[in-house]
Amino acid sequence: MAIERVERLSESDLADLAEATDAAIIEGGGFGWLEPQGRGALERHFRGVLLVPERELFVARLDGHAVGSAQLVRPPRNNEAQAFGATLTHAYIAPYARGFGLARLLVRRVEERAAALGHRVLNLDVRETQTTAIALFESLGYVHWGTHPYYARAKGQTVAGHFYFKTLEPGRGRSTGELIDGAV
């Protein structure tokens, strides 16, 4: 088991990620997609992710194979007012690789990287139908701050979305509480 931040993907990684992503989509995850996308579309997607300067891709591996991923999205450089926060998005583990603690480890690695980059808050959102993901995020200390009743459409139904945040502590320096609450 391993989680790694990647800057390049091999052809076998791309094939593994395409398979894992389609499996997650079929199972009801899949970060916005409702139908399997196929290898070509997903390879283009992941190659594109690697080109965006504000995105970092994390890959979960089981027995050396890519079985899931997550993305850390930083605000663009011109958004100084929100530079203290980042977003965890597109997090999933293929159904056939669950039960090993990879999802928890994946989220923790993204949190660690966000904190190392100086972000003090990590945001995320998830469809209300993704109950396993919701349970994971809540068990990791994410705070539910709101619900959007018309967040998505899936299988002909309107689905609510839940919004979460978690404060992150830096390895050194002023605590997040001091900065957010304005204490000196």
Q: Which residues span the domain enclosing 120?
A: 2-181
Determine contact, residues 97/19, Cβ cutoff 8 Å.
no
Both structure tokens of 41: 């579309």
Residue 111 class from Cβ within 10 Å (0-12 exposed, 13-18 middle, 19+ buried)?
Answer: buried
Alpha carbon 8 to chain centroid, angstroms:
18
Q: What is the pLDDT of residue 184?
A: 40
CATH at 122 = 3.40.630.30
Mean pLDDT, residues 110-139 taken together: 95
Helix axes 11-27, 38-51, angle to 10 degrees: 110
Q: Closest by alpha carbon to 125, among 148, 102, 106?
A: 148
Q: What is the pLDDT of residue 154?
A: 86
pLDDT in tens, 93-111: 999 999 999 999 999 999 9
| pTM of the model as a whole | 0.92
pLDDT in tens, 42-83: 999 999 999 999 999 999 999 999 999 999 999 998 998 898
CA distance 27 to 7: 28
Determine contact, residues 16/24, Cβ cutoff 8 Å.
no
In this prediction, residue 173 has a pLDDT band, given cuts at 50, 70 and 90, of low
Q: Closest by alpha carbon to 82, among 128, 120, 37?
A: 120
**Number of separate domains in the chain:** 1
How confident is the prediction for the chain on average, in pLDDT?
Answer: 92
Higher pLDDT, 28 or 108: 108
